[in-house]
């Protein structure tokens, strides 16, 4: 009887995490939409770029070189970046699953795709793994190009900026690459891709993810598996949208883990997957 009660309590906690995560995603998405609305309405000083941690990456080198921050970016972006790096050090890529509005929309589109369009869309790991490396040259190219040109060259194809400004943000139409109004179409296709290839941008192309991964690998709060109670059903592996193999490890060290807790909820054996502090049993 008390065992049943414990189980129910544990489920409540997990549901709370799930709902807490969704609430957090809705909150940050709502804030982004609100700031974007003010920006597009011409409210002075309102810009969604101000809160972008990747803006901190783009403007870090000019700022360190004492040549000032780029375009509409400021030291606020560097502070936001520092905050996100700290979160990652503690809680792995929780930024992707709890805060990033691009991550939230991608996840929800992928969910609709899984429910109503294509039920099973696992990318084979021999394809998934090499594709995940793509984001590093993307990051290097953006940082190199930005420093060289002294302009935000990524802005024209940045899903965050293009989507929330409806392709009408500063610098898109008259940008360096010059793709102008096509930006929005490209970004909408990229979001649509989530139906067949869940989290495609987040997993394979996102330069912010590439920045976070080294710290995410260290990430102190992580999912742990108890091999003594694990029945090797591999449900956790199938559930993980980020392509992490949970059933092979003692503690999830993969840099790609966003601490979404989907694997924990999917595990049929109570207390086999738990979230805890520390790096042992990897
Ligand atoms: S879902 Fe749970 S029991 Fe199944 S393989 Fe993963 S950890 Fe083991
Ligand atoms: S399902 Fe588990 S392993 Fe995969 S990202 Fe979420 S918490 Fe990490």
The domain segmentation of the chain, as residue ranges, is 9-217, 220-277
Q: In which band, very low, low, confident or very high, does the pLDDT at 1 lie, cut at 50, 70 and 90?
A: very low
Query: 234 C-alpha to center of ligand 1: Å?
Result: 5
How many alpha carbons lie under 13 Å from residue 180 in its C-beta half-sphere? 4
Query: 244 C-alpha to center of ligand 2: Å?
Result: 7
**Position 89 pLDDT exceeds 90:** yes
Indicate which ligand has the atom closest to the C-alpha of 269: 1
**Position 27 pLDDT exceeds 90:** yes
Indicate which ligand has the atom closest to the C-alpha of 225: 1
Indicate which ligand has the atom closest to the C-alpha of 96: 2
Query: 145 C-alpha to center of ligand 1: Å?
Result: 44
What does R_g of the chain's alpha carbons equal in angstroms?
20
Q: Which of 3-7, 200-204, 257-261, 268-272 has the lowest mean pLDDT?
A: 3-7
Q: Which residues line ligand 1 (CB under 6 A)?
A: 225, 230-236, 246-247, 266-267, 269, 272-273
Across the chain, mean pLDDT equals 86
**Position 65 pLDDT exceeds 90:** no
Both tokens of 139, joined, read 């990051």
Question: Domain 220-277 carries which CATH code?
Answer: 3.30.70
Query: 38 C-alpha to center of ligand 2: Å?
Result: 35
Q: Which of 54-68, 158-172, 229-243 has the lowest mean pLDDT?
A: 158-172
Q: What is the pLDDT averaged over residues 220-247?
A: 94
Q: In which band, very low, low, confident or very high, does the pLDDT at 216 lie, cut at 50, 70 and 90?
A: very high
| pLDDT in the model for residue 7 | 52
Contacts 24+ apart (CB under 8 A), 131-140: 131/203, 131/204, 132/203, 132/204, 132/243, 132/256, 134/204, 134/205, 135/203, 135/204, 135/205, 135/206, 135/207, 135/209, 135/210, 136/210, 138/205, 138/206, 138/207, 138/210, 139/57, 139/207, 139/210, 139/211
Q: In which band, very low, low, confident or very high, does the pLDDT at 8 lie, cut at 50, 70 and 90?
A: very low
Task: Give the residue, by CA position, lying nearest to ligand 2 atom 4.
Answer: 240
**Position 151 pLDDT exceeds 50:** yes
Q: In which band, very low, low, confident or very high, does the pLDDT at 172 lie, cut at 50, 70 and 90?
A: low
Query: 75 C-alpha to center of ligand 1: Å?
Result: 44
Q: Which of 19-33, 42-56, 134-148, 237-251 has the lowest mean pLDDT?
A: 42-56
């Amino acid at each position: 009887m008390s065992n049943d009660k414990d189980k129910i309590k544990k489920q409540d906690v997990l549901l709370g995490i799930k709902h807490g995560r969704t609430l957090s995603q809705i909150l940050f998405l709502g804030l982004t939409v609100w700031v974007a609305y003010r920006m597009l309405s011409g409210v002075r000083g309102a810009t969604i770029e101000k809160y972008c941690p990747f803006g901190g990456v783009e403007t870090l080198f000019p700022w360190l070189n004492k040549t000032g921050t780029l375009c509409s970016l400021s030291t606020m972006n560097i502070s936001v970046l520092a905050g996100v790096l700290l979160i990652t050090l503690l809680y792995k890529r929780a930024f992707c699953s709890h805060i990033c509005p691009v991550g939230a929309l991608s996840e929800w589109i992928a969910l609709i795709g899984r429910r109503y369009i294509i039920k099973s869309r696992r990318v084979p790991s021999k394809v998934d793994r090499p594709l995940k490396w793509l984001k590093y040259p993307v990051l290097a190219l953006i940082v190199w190009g930005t420093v060289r040109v002294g302009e935000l060259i990524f802005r024209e194809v940045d899903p965050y900026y293009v989507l929330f400004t409806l392709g009408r943000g500063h610098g898109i139409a008259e940008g360096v690459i010059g793709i102008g109004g096509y930006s929005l179409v490209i970004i909408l296709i990229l979001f649509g891709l989530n139906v067949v290839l869940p989290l495609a941008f987040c997993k394979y192309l996102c330069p912010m993810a590439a920045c976070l991964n080294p710290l995410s690998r260290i990430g102190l709060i992580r999912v742990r598996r108890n091999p003594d109670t694990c029945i090797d059903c591999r449900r956790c592996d199938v559930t993980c949208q980020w392509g992490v193999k949970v059933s092979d490890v003692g503690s999830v060290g993969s840099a790609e883990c966003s601490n979404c807790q989907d694997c924990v909820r999917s595990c049929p054996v109570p207390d086999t997957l738990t979230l805890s502090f520390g790096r042992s049993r990897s």
